[in-house]
Homo-oligomer: A and B are copies of this chain.
Amino acid sequence: MTDHVRAALRAQQIEVPSWAYGNSGTRFKVFAQRGVPRNPQEKIADAAQVHKYTGISPIVSLHIPWDKVDDYEALAKYAGDLGVRIGGINANVFQDDDYMLGSVTNPDARIRRKALDHLLECVDIMDATGSRDVKLWFSDGTNYPGQDSIRARQDRLAEALSAVYDRLGESQRMLLEYKLFEPAFYTMDVPDWGTAYAHCLRLGPKAQVVIDTGHHAPGTNIEFIVAFLLREGKLGAFDFNSRFYADDDLMVGAADPFQLFRIMHEIVQADALRNDSGINFMLDQCHNIEPKIPGQIRSVMNVQEATAKALIVDTAALDAAQQNGDVLGANAVLMDAYNTDVRPLLAEVRAEMGLDPNPMAAYARSGYADKIVAERVGGQQAGWGA
């Protein structure tokens, strides 16, 4: 395998979310797991384990207020001591009783102001943590036709986004996420990439679109969106996960590994894997029934394997077949890479990085899982609500 493939794999960085280590579930039940973190520090400690064994996940996203602390500089230092750093700041304007009918798009001006204040607070936290990105996802929407004016809500949204944009520092960015449905069931105020794109375009270069791979209608070709936003210079981040039906938030690559490969193929073709490409490759998933840390390690490895396959595509042969209109030939070049077993290559890359070639086994052997079960007794387990 050529050196540039190995180099790219060694340099790859995947951001992990602090909330993946807490409990999660569906509206029917959150099954508590033993050893789950009780505070942001313990979440970061768990995230550091993922980096320890994969070597490519040195960044941890925070979710405010779930990860609210008094001293963010201290939290950043704590992370640094564990070998990781604070990444994006994820705002949360969906869990206060005031937000029942919306946050920044609520018909009530007082509630809009409250929501905006939270968003601005997130930028303050970015200042304190040195984070580059604030990620905005809005649960805002309506459940019933007529409930509110679609257009008026867009006006209110635009106003709030503009206020946050103006508050951003020179090197700070706003990442806007879209989602088809849930928790709102008739309209979401940012339901698709087109809506997010149009707002970001008006705001300016510091506003970029986030693709959560679980937030689309059935049949949506996600890699098309990736390619299109890359061409427009408007792709800011991924929230990686996988789904069979809706926003299932399963481990990325678990439901459709071929799709993940096709996404990473578009990234590689556009030379956007580089760390200076401005794209934040983040996991955002719920390990409802599987252990959290191994679930994250497996997910990082799944992205890594898809990336490796994308890197070994014979680009010259692909281009030639495409230019010749050789449908089967072009497809075969892509499938040849996909069908290759890249696990031996990745084992070598890990060895080059001083890592165990088998991160899952190494973590399992480490005893960390038993340790946190033993140590984390009492207190309130972290979850979506806290």
- Would you list which residues of chain A between 1 and 49 have a CB under 8 Å from chain B? 24-29, 31-32
Q: Mark A370-386, 1 if CB is under 8 A from B, else 0.
A: 00000000000000100
> How far, in whole Å, are A295 and B328 apart by their CA atoms in the complex?
7
Q: Please, which residue of chain B has its CB at the minimum distance from the CB of A25? A: B27
Quote the shortest CB–CB distance from A150 to chain B (angstroms). Answer: 4
Asked whether A254 lies within 8 Å of B144 as measured between CB atoms, the reply is yes
Q: Please, which residue of chain B has its CB at the minimum distance from the CB of A183? A: B26
Q: For the complex, is A139 an interface residue (Cβ under 8 Å from B)?
A: yes
How many chain-A residues does the 8 Å CB contact rule pick out?
A: 105
Q: For the complex, is A108 an interface residue (Cβ under 8 Å from B)?
A: yes
Asked whether A194 lies within 8 Å of B191 as measured between CB atoms, the reply is no
Asked whether B182 lies within 8 Å of A26 as measured between CB atoms, the reply is yes
Quote the shortest CB–CB distance from A246 to chain B (angstroms). Answer: 5
| Inter-chain contacts of A340 with B (CB < 8 A) | 341
Known contacts A150-B224, A154-B227, A325-B101; A28 and B288 CB within 8 A of each other: no
> How far, in whole Å, are A327 and B251 apart by their CA atoms in the complex?
12
Work out how many copies of this chain go into the complex.
4
Asked whether B107 lies within 8 Å of A325 as measured between CB atoms, the reply is yes
Contact pick for A185, options B94, B244, B338, CB 8 Å: B244
> How far, in whole Å, are A197 and B202 apart by their CA atoms in the complex?
13
| Inter-chain contacts of A165 with B (CB < 8 A) | none
Q: For the complex, is A278 an interface residue (Cβ under 8 Å from B)?
A: no
Asked whether B27 lies within 8 Å of A26 as measured between CB atoms, the reply is yes
Q: Mark A275-314, 1 if CB is under 8 A from B, else 0.
A: 0000000000000111100110010000001000000000
Asked whether B295 lies within 8 Å of A28 as measured between CB atoms, the reply is no
Q: For the complex, is A97 an interface residue (Cβ under 8 Å from B)?
A: yes
A146-B333, A186-B250 known; 17 new pairs, CB 8 Å cut-off, are A100-B289, A101-B289, A107-B324, A107-B325, A143-B248, A145-B335, A146-B335, A147-B322, A147-B330, A148-B330, A181-B244, A191-B221, A194-B195, A195-B228, A201-B201, A218-B218, A245-B246
Q: List 16 A-B contacts (CB under 8 A).
A: A29-B99, A143-B248, A143-B327, A144-B290, A180-B245, A181-B244, A185-B245, A186-B221, A194-B195, A197-B198, A219-B244, A245-B246, A257-B338, A258-B258, A291-B328, A332-B360
